[in-house]
Amino acid sequence: MSRAAGPAAWLLITGAELRSLRRSAFAVVMAAVLPFAIGLLIIWAEGDTGKAGRGGSVGLLLVTLLVFTAYVPGTTALAARRQQLVLKRLRTSGAPDLAVIAGVLTPYALLTVLQSLVLFGIVVVADGPPSLRPLPLLAALGAGIAVACVMAVATAAYTSSPELAQLTTTPIALAFVGGGFWALTIPAAEVGAKMLALPGVGVTQLTRIGWHEAEPSGSAGALAALVLLAAVVTPVAVRVFSWDSRR
């Protein structure tokens, strides 16, 4: 296969997944409407209490989107396409393995980016133009999506059907969301390296830094923790992932 065939296959698979997502009302609600509604609820709750800080609430918002827009739907989609033998057919068609996996997950990554930008915009409009550090925010979004997608591949290896994804994704989802809540209970300056082992902590810490609620010196550690987590999980996910339908 030519070098250009990989990106072409990825784009074709991504387009097919986007069309499939658009045709499923349930998928649209679970991957778009529900996380968006939860995000608005978090913003409203923080505005009402003011206890978490705007950067902290935005961090928890981003963690929620990563779980319910990227991770859980991504795992479900991979399990569904494997059960339908779509993954096996795509693989035997000559498309590179990476293009197949990335094509299935890209729509959910794009949806996460879109939702994040919209909700970030709502926060900015509601509070007035804040003084932001854009790089930590972009790092939180990019690294968070990478971790969520890699975790989706790893979890899909143990998910025999799309229905089972609601169960198999629970531990990682709790690690994400629980980490986000845990970070909000600790002053930003006291978040330690052990806490950063949970992806939700790193994402929340980066958004707090982006909102000037923490010193920028902590951004390197938070980003490194997310990158390290993705780097550790990736080879494991590649090794355990199954292309054949499991019964």
Identify whether 245 is part of a domain.
no
- Alpha-helical runs (H) found in the chain: 5-23, 25-28, 34-49, 54-65, 72-83, 86-92, 97-127, 134-156, 165-168, 170-184, 199-210, 219-240
User: What pTM does this model have?
Assistant: 0.89
Does 153 fall in a domain? yes
Higher pLDDT, 73 or 42: 73
CA distance 35 to 219: 26
Contact (Cβ atoms closer than 8 angstroms) between residue 143 and residue 202: yes
Q: 146, 230 in Cβ contact below 8 A? A: yes
Average pLDDT, the chain: 86
Tell whether the model's pLDDT for residue 3 goes beyond 50: no
pLDDT digits (tens, 9 = 90+) for 87-126: 999 888 888 999 999 999 999 999 999 888 888 887 777 6
pLDDT digits (tens, 9 = 90+) for 30-51: 666 766 677 677 666 655 445 5
pLDDT value of residue 148:
98
Query: Across residues 52-66, what is the average pLDDT?
Result: 84
CA geometry: angle 162, 17, 87, nearest 5 deg: 60
Q: Count up the domains in the chain and report the number.
A: 1
pLDDT digits (tens, 9 = 90+) for 177-190: 999 989 988 888 88
**Any domain includes 18:** yes
- Is there a domain that residue 48 lies in? yes
Establish if 16 belongs to a structural domain: yes
CA 105-109-113 angle, 5° bins: 170
Q: Quick one: how far is CA 179 from the chain centroid? A: 14
Domain that holds residue 51: 5-240
44 assigned to some structural domain: yes
Residue 174 located in a structural domain: yes
Q: Residue 102: inside a domain, yes or no?
A: yes
Please report where in the chains the tokens 């991957």 appear, as a residue: 31
pLDDT in tens, 203-235: 999 999 998 877 888 899 999 999 999 999 999
Res 1: pLDDT: 47
